[in-house]
Chain A
Amino acid sequence: MTREERIARGLRVVRLGHGANCSSIGSVVDTLFASAVVGGAILAAISAAVAHEKRVVVVPARPAAKEGEAVPAAAADGERAKETDEGTP
């Protein structure tokens, strides 16, 4: 199985688009009416996008390490996140 196929198998939820409503949460529904072929193509495209994005930012920032503990790579002093360009093999 390819890496993208493994990602596709692990996809639980795909929410397309940003939406821009400030009062209630919106969800794209036209995908529900698309054919199985189109639905499968959307999931494959999203799996490929996950596989190919290189920059990885982890949120929220983990708490700073206590004295004597190793500082995890992800921790940062009050910053939101760990950032790396090596998140994908």
Chain B
Amino acid sequence: MIVRYESWGAWVKLEETAALVALDQDGARAAGLDGEDAWSLPGGGPSAPVEVHLAVTGKCAAGCEGCYLDARPDGEEPPQETLLARLDALAAQGVFTVAFGGGEPITRDDLGELAVAARARGLTPVLTTSGLGLSDARVARLDAFAQVNVSYDGAGEAYASVRGFDGARAAEAAIERLARAGVTVGVNVVLTRQSFPHLEETIRRARALGAREAQLLRYKPAGRAATLDYLARRLSVAQVDAFVPTLRAIAAEHACDEGAFHVRVDCALVPFLSGDASLAADALARFGVFGCEAGDRLAAMRVDGKSAPCSFAPPADDAELARWRAYAAAPDEPCASCTLRPVCKGGCKVVSSFVDERHGPDPECPRVRAHRRASAS
């Protein structure tokens, strides 16, 4: 196990079971761990992120319409030594997971070597790819990654509706190829007004191809998606309201409680869980659901080496990071008195910054919508 002591106890990353757990001091002691000075120092302040998203290239030929990074075929590509130094820095902070992204990471010939280098530093490397150009030879170099997720928004039309071209076949071939090679493979599904109606079929198909996890992602107004078109692509109010029932149906259909398949939601989808009053904040916290962790448990390192609170946010210095954390710690109403606030942390700041031009309550959250309706009437 890899242990990082905190003032309240310890983060423990298990090595034989894929899990990250937080133990309080008593639990840590029961596990034979002693936080020594970390438990006797007052305060402690914000500790290091548990997960960092590392852009290993700015190159990508796919040209997705909604690319949050505005990646291009001639994007910047840092040399290997630069990335190794960045991995050193993350290891020195006590980060656990490094998610390799881009651009399109598989355009790098040394991607497998970088994953091995991350492992050697005690980091857990994972990878997101479009799957375009993922040959068997390239798959063979990915065995150091703990998991590889392929972007797959659905078959044919559903994929094209999110990305502006039909890359579904290439993604499907990549999922199959990875699964055949024994790589733990998942799919990233971006939820838009156009892809949501196909979600259950998309997951069925991904699972049949060998995916063991579906990661659902909210569409966000960043990069090439930060245009008025966002308003036509984001989930409709009815779709947001149907979100939790859809999750329940997917979990039941795939017998997720037996553990063979899992469904994840990203930080920005957490506000949509508030539509179901039976989901209690303590259960969400206990099962490690992370809402907006930008600049806190999550950080991003861009291709130019600048740090950002998350991959969708602009680079930030310490003062700006403090502003992000301060808002999450003390948001406006209705977030301030919302039972889910300790987990959700006020919703997605990238969305509120685009829609309301400030860090504020997530305008698409069912509870925020209800609060605004009540305030207006």
Residues in A lying within 8 Å of B, measured CB to CB: 3, 6-35, 38-39, 43, 45-46, 49-53, 55-61, 72, 74, 80-81, 87-89
Contact = CB atoms under 8 A, between A and B. Distances in A.
30 contacts: A7-B30, A10-B25, A10-B27, A11-B27, A12-B21, A12-B22, A13-B22, A13-B288, A14-B287, A15-B290, A16-B19, A16-B287, A17-B19, A17-B262, A19-B99, A21-B215, A23-B217, A25-B290, A25-B298, A27-B289, A29-B287, A29-B289, A30-B254, A31-B257, A32-B283, A51-B31, A59-B4, A60-B94, A80-B92, A87-B1
Contacts of B336: none
A56 B1 contact: yes
Contact of A11 (B22, B55, B254, B268): B22
Contact of A49 (B3, B17, B145, B184): B17
B23 A26 contact: no
Contacts of B338: none
B284 A25 contact: no
B126 A20 contact: yes
Interface string B109-145: 0000000000001101011100000000000000001
Contacts of A15: 19-21, 287-288, 290
B23 A21 contact: no
B82 interface: no
Classify the interface of chain B: helix, strand, loop or mixed. mixed
B81 interface: no
A6 B289 CA distance: 23
Given A57-B3, A60-B93, A81-B122, 16 more contacts: A11-B23, A11-B27, A15-B290, A18-B146, A19-B126, A20-B186, A21-B128, A22-B100, A22-B105, A22-B311, A27-B290, A43-B286, A50-B23, A60-B91, A60-B92, A87-B33
Contacts of A10: 9, 23-28, 30-31
Nearest to A1: B30
Contacts, number: 259
Contacts of A32: 279, 283-284, 287, 289
Interface of B: 1-5, 8-9, 12, 14-28, 30-33, 36, 48, 51, 53-55, 68, 91-94, 97, 99-102, 105, 121-122, 124, 126-128, 145-149, 184, 186, 188, 213, 215, 217-218, 220, 247-248, 250-252, 254, 256-257, 262-268, 270, 273, 279, 283-290, 293, 297-298, 310-312
A89 to B, nearest CB: 5
B14 A50 contact: yes
Nearest to B251: A30
A43 B184 CA distance: 23
A18 to B, nearest CB: 4
Nearest to B23: A10
B14 A53 contact: yes
Contacts of A56: 1, 3, 32-33
Nearest to B297: A25
B5 A33 contact: no
B285 A55 contact: no
Contacts of A20: 99, 126-128, 145-149, 186, 215
B310 A24 contact: yes
Contact of B286 (A14, A28, A60, A89): A14
Contacts of B256: 30-31, 33-34
Contacts of A38: 257
A28 B273 CA distance: 13
